[in-house]
Amino acid sequence: MTDYETLRQFADSYGLLAMAIIFVSLCLWPFRPGSRDRNHYAAHSILEDHEDGE
Question: CB-based contacts of 31: which residues, under 8 Å, 6+ apart?
Answer: none
14 found inside a domain: yes
17 found inside a domain: yes
52 found inside a domain: no
Give the structural domain span for 33.
4-45
34 found inside a domain: yes
36 found inside a domain: yes
54 found inside a domain: no
Number of domains in the chain: 1
Residue at 42: amino acid letter: A
H or E element at residue 4? helix 4-10
1-54 pLDDT, tens per residue?
678 888 888 888 898 899 999 999 999 999 999 999 998 998 888 877 767 655
41 found inside a domain: yes
User: pTM for the complete prediction?
Assistant: 0.61
